[in-house]
């Protein structure tokens, strides 16, 4: 009998400082990250934003040792998952497919199609909650590959869309939070602060991204599993660009709690299972400093799950259950996460023919203004509208 394959999906991060520019270019080239009405604009704009952001981003990566730990952690999770599955009697091959950096999803798919032994594949995103911008983007990419690659079409697969309700995952999160609370002199007085990665508000309100609802429910489930009397807050971090993102923003919420006299804060990164730049730099350095200034003197951050044994067991259980359940198709996932409008957005389609010329004109004008502003001031337009700090 053939073997089981598990394809772990993740975002990927630059391994070294020289990778930051091309990594950002890949990220901003993704229509699921910047939603534009015209495909032709995607690459030039991605190049423009990436080249402007590279230096600031490199400074941040410098503070965490010159690169992202994501690849190494994700590979360790894969190794641990393989072993855990083995103890459950499942001999599986694990593949890691990153969306924006090595090992790319394309590389993972290439090696799994060469692996003639793989009979059934489980697609498992390492994002507990679904967002159009994360799991959605990877699913979209895979869907395209499946459509165009006859070799892939021979592999039977199933998708795990999101898994924030998985009891083992909730228990691992609760354990890590409890451990951090118990380091404080008065554990029950600490305020628990869930910080989720943000998305633009329009993803939820216009495109129907279930992300916010899944994050909120996940937070409640973790609190219920933790079963402690602590007060808690949920806020959204890492906003980029000029548009409104999900609120409250982490920085505002920290300041408000400080103003209310909160002294002990336990920060829980909730939308990502590995340490990465937003935990190691943004929370541990930037938000810590902000909290200190706001009078929060005990600032503790709950570590990411990484290879926490209870978490790895939870992933293994997800795989085993998926193998026992009816297969879920990539296109079914999009339907299941109802109301989602992935790129190209349906609402653009009806407007596109009548307004295309108007848009072309506006964009050409904007490009021209940007050039003039930059020539006069020596700074890019995006700097002024806030896409760069
Ligand atoms: C569930 C987690 C994440 C969501 C949702 C998400 C949406 C999202 N992100 C950007 C822009 C950037 N993200 C960047 C890095 C980054 N993003 C996530 C996770 C989510 N993003 C992680 C784990 C990482 C870090 C990877 C690492 O290197 O360790 C970056 C690059 C870093 C920087 O310059 O700040 C950008 C830019 C958007 C626009 C978006 C939703 C539309
Ligand atoms: Fe991000
Ligand atoms: Fe950030």
Q: What is the pLDDT of residue 2?
A: 76
Tally of structural domains, the chain? 3
Tell me which H or E stretch contains 108: helix 105-114
Are residue 11 and residue 148 in the same domain, yes or no? yes
Q: Is 242 exposed, middle or buried (0-12, 13-18, 19+ CB in 10 A)?
A: exposed
Tell me, using a 6 A CB cutoff, whether residue 53 lines ligand 1.
yes
Q: How far is the CA of 27 from the centre of ligand 1 (A)?
A: 8
Query: Is 58 a domain residue?
Result: yes
Residues 358-361: contacts with CB within 8 Å, 24+ apart? 359/37, 359/38, 360/38
Residue nearest to atom 35 of ligand 1 (CA): 57
Q: What is the pTM for the complete model shown?
A: 0.89
Does 347 fall in a domain? no
Q: Exposed/middle/buried for 186, CB within 10 Å: 0-12, 13-18, 19+?
A: exposed
pLDDT at 1: 61
Ligand 1 near 13 CB (within 6 A): yes
Q: State whether the beta carbon of 277 lies less than 6 angstroms from ligand 1.
A: yes
Domain C-terminal end among 301, 328, 362: 301
Asked if 162 and 300 touch (Cβ cutoff 8 Å), the reply is no
Go through 142-155 and write b for each residue having 16 or more CB atoms within 10 A of its CB, e for each that does not. Answer: bbebbeeeeebeeb
Let me know whether 285 and 367 are in one domain: no
180 and 51 both lie in a single domain: no
Whether 21 and 158 share a structural domain: yes
Q: What is the largest CA-CA distance in the chain?
A: 68
Q: What stretches in the chain show pLDDT beneath 70?
A: 1, 338-389
- The residue segments making up the domain with residue 255 are 167-301
Residue 224 domain-assigned? yes
Ligand 1 atom nearest to CA at 199: 41
Mark whether 76 and 186 lie in a shared domain.
no
Mutate to test the pocket of ligand 1, among 48, 128, 133 (most ligand atoms within 8 A of CB): 133
pLDDT value of residue 375? 46
Q: Are residues 64 and 208 in the same domain?
A: no
Q: Are residues 210 and 224 in the same domain?
A: yes
Nearest CA to ligand 1 atom 41: 199
Question: Cα(244)–Cα(14) distance, rounded to whole angstroms?
Answer: 27
Domain-embedded: residue 282: yes
Same domain, 144 and 175: no
pLDDT value at residue 267: 97
Q: Residue 345 falls within a domain, yes or no?
A: no
Annotated binding site for Fe(2+): 197, 278
Question: Do 272 and 326 lie in a common domain?
Answer: no
With left for phi above 0 and alpha for psi between -120 and 50, is residue 157 left, alpha or beta? beta
Strand order in the sheet with 232-237: 232-237, 191-197, 264-269, 298-301
For the record, the structure tokens of 225 come out as: 């599993």
Quote the pLDDT of residue 327.
96
CATH of the domain at 112: 3.40.50.1400
Packed helices 309-324 and 167-181: angle between N→C axes, nearest 10 degrees: 170
Give the DSSP H/E element, type plus range, for residue 43.
Answer: helix 39-63
Domain assignment present for residue 349? The answer is no
Q: Are residues 16 and 155 in the same domain?
A: yes
Domain end point (choices 256, 282, 301): 301
pLDDT at 35: 83
Q: What is the structure's pLDDT at 116?
A: 80
Quick check: is 27 in a domain? yes
**224 and 267 housed in the same domain:** yes
**Residue 274 falls inside a structural domain:** yes
Q: Are residues 151 and 191 in the same domain?
A: no
Establish how many alpha carbons lie within 13 A of residue 127's alpha carbon, considering only the half-sphere containing its beta carbon: 26
Contacts of 33 (CB under 8 A, 6+ apart): 27, 133, 137
Continuous H helices in 227-345: 250-259, 277, 288-293, 309-324, 330-336
215: three-class secondary structure by DSSP: helix
């Amino acid at each position: 009998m053939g073997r089981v394959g598990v394809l772990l999906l993740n975002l990927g991060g630059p391994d070294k400082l020289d990778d930051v520019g091309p990594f950002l270019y890949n990220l901003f080239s993704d229509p699921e990250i910047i939603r534009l009405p015209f495909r032709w604009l995607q690459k030039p704009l991605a190049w423009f934003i990436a080249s402007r952001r590279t230096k600031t981003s490199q400074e941040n990566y410098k503070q965490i040792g010159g690169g992202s730990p994501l690849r190494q952690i994700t590979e360790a999770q894969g190794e641990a998952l393989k072993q855990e599955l083995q103890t459950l009697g499942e001999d599986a091959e694990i593949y890691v497919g990153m969306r924006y950096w090595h090992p790319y999803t394309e590389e993972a798919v290439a090696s799994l199609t060469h692996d003639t032994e793989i009979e059934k594949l489980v697609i498992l995103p390492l994002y507990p909650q679904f967002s159009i911008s994360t799991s959605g983007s990877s699913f979209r990419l895979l869907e395209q590959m499946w459509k165009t690659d006859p070799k892939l079409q021979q592999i039977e697969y199933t998708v795990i869309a999101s898994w924030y309700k998985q009891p083992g995952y909730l228990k691992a999160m609760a354990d890590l939070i409890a451990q951090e609370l118990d380091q404080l002199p008065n554990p029950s007085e600490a305020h628990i602060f869930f910080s989720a990665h943000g998305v633009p508000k329009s993803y939820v309100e216009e495109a129907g991204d279930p992300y916010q609802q899944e994050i909120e429910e996940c937070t409640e489930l973790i609190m219920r599993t933790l079963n402690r009397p602590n007060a808690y807050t949920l806020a959204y971090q890492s906003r980029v660009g000029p548009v409104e993102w999900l609120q409250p923003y982490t920085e505002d919420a920290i300041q408000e709690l400080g103003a209310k006299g909160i002294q002990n804060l336990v920060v829980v990164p909730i939308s990502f299972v590995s340490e990465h730049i937003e935990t190691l730099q943004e929370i541990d350095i930037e938000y810590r400093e902000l909290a200190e200034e706001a009078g929060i003197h005990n600032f503790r951050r709950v570590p990411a799950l990484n290879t926490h044994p209870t978490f790895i067991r939870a992933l293994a259980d997800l795989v085993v259950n998926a193998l026992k359940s009816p297969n879920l198709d990539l296109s079914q996932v999009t339907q299941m996460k109802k109301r989602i409008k992935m790129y190209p957005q349906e609402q653009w389609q009806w407007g596109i023919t009548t307004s295309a010329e108007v848009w072309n004109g506006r964009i050409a004008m904007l490009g021209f203004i940007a050039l003039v502003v930059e020539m006069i001031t020596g700074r890019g337009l995006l700097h002024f509208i806030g896409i760069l700090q």
